[in-house]
Amino acid sequence: MLWFDPDSFREITETLLRNKTRSFLTGFGVFWGVFMLVALIGGGDGLKELLENTFEGFATNSALVWSQPTTRPYHGFRKGRRWSMVRHDVERLQAQVPGLDVVSPVLSHWGAGAVYGDHRVSCNVKGLQPDYAKVDAPRIRFGRYLNDMDMMQNRKVCVIGKKIYKTLFPGGGDPSGELIRIDSTYYQVIGVDYAEGNMNINGSADESVCVPFTLMQQAYNMGDTLELIAVTGKPGVTISQITPRMREVIARAHDVDPEDEKAVMIFNTEVLFGVMDNLFSGVNFLIWLVGIGTLLAGAIGVSNIMMVTVRERTTEIGIRRAIGATPLKILSQIISESIVLTAVAGMSGILFAVMILQMLQLANTEDGIVAAHFQVAVGTAIGAVLLLTVLGILAGLPPALRAMRIKPVEAMHED
């Protein structure tokens, strides 16, 4: 049986301290293995969360459509012809591609300047419809997002990004209701978007000012031309299934070859998210491979050192056998030493890894908002402790079995 009564624990501690240099070197292998495993798991989860935040709020089953010069001749037109999508293309897609859920047009104006009082900042202006929030969800910190009444009444209202807000309103607080000037037009701030995603659709969200789509058409005299159309698929419909039909509907309306994929560009985010999932599946496999490999190397080191220790203590073990120690007692003693050494080194590795992960998390915290959680789950920590216990037993078993075979007479003779 294995148990740690006070006398046994004191004896184990004294034995390990007598060989403190060897115990340190042995324990360091386990320490490093556990540290690598826990740090890699926590770091990998944090890195995954950081990358997921890059696409925060963006619909996974979505696509972006825009026009480019043609690369094939069609209907008497030469290749290289420039063309543009129009507002009617939105209705065409809604009517002729039943698999689509949201079809939202996007307009942009670059190089604008936003002014409030003595503060000024460069920005890009986006003309959006309220349903664009279903494609790229905002994270409203103050106020609200654009709504249908803003569109119908051509209200001069806007939603500003995080960087715009911090520059124009350095004192903080809710800016809703305040008037800011963009170029020569005044807009009333109705909300602040704190979205952290880096899916820069015609510009970064934190440097953008979003206004109603219809208002932007008039304010910047953009007519019926569209720069971009954002779409999402209905539940159960993947964008890949309906991409050819979307391209055909738009291409035929503008005398563009439906097979000309470069003329009607469709960026399918479904593919991007699939690549990211495959990437992290590989990263997780590599993390466990490296971590467990390092841990096993440390356990083998423990076993080897314990084997050397048993050989050096042959006489001591022989004397213990001669005065009545049973083989099971000797087995318990050696395995207990292995478990204690492995557990102390392993738990130290876990604590050090958690401390490092906590520092990484603090480094990725801004305004009280954690960008990524560099932590390990409780289940993972418990699993690591159980794994350490098993490794400690396995590492101590070979030298313990060797110690059990030592006979008192042979041990005395060897001395």
Give the pLDDT score at 288.
77
Q: pLDDT higher for 93 or 364?
A: 93
Q: What is the pLDDT of residues 96-111, one digit of tens each?
A: 999 999 999 999 998 8
What is the rounded CA–CA span in Å between residue 346 and residue 298? 10
Residue 328 to residues 106, 340, 403, Cα–Cα distance (Å): 78, 18, 10
Give the pLDDT score at 223.
85
Q: Sorting pLDDT into bands at 50, 70 and 90, what band is 310? A: low
Choice among 3-12, 45-54, 315-324 with the minimum mean pLDDT? 3-12
* pTM, full prediction: 0.64
Choice among 89-93, 222-226, 256-260 with the minimum mean pLDDT? 222-226
Q: What is the pLDDT of residues 360-392, one digit of tens each?
A: 877 777 665 656 677 777 777 777 767 766 776
Residue 120 has pLDDT above 70, yes or no: yes
* Average pLDDT for 56-64: 77
Residue 348 has pLDDT above 70, yes or no: yes
Q: What is the pLDDT of residues 168-200, one digit of tens each?
A: 999 889 999 999 999 889 999 999 998 865 566
Choice among 5-9, 303-307, 373-377, 407-411 with the minimum mean pLDDT? 5-9
Give the pLDDT score at 257.
93
HSE-CB for 135 with a 13 A CA cutoff: 27
Residue 137 has pLDDT above 60, yes or no: yes
Q: pLDDT higher for 285 or 94?
A: 94
Q: What are phi and psi of 161, to 5 degrees?
A: -80, 170
Q: Sorting pLDDT into bands at 50, 70 and 90, what band is 247? A: very high
Residue 213 to residues 129, 164, 205, 223, 229, Cα–Cα distance (Å): 6, 20, 16, 11, 12
Q: Sorting pLDDT into bands at 50, 70 and 90, what band is 402? A: low
Q: Is the dihedral of CA 28, 29, 30, 31 positive or negative?
A: positive
Q: Sorting pLDDT into bands at 50, 70 and 90, what band is 277? A: confident
Q: pLDDT higher for 310 or 128?
A: 128
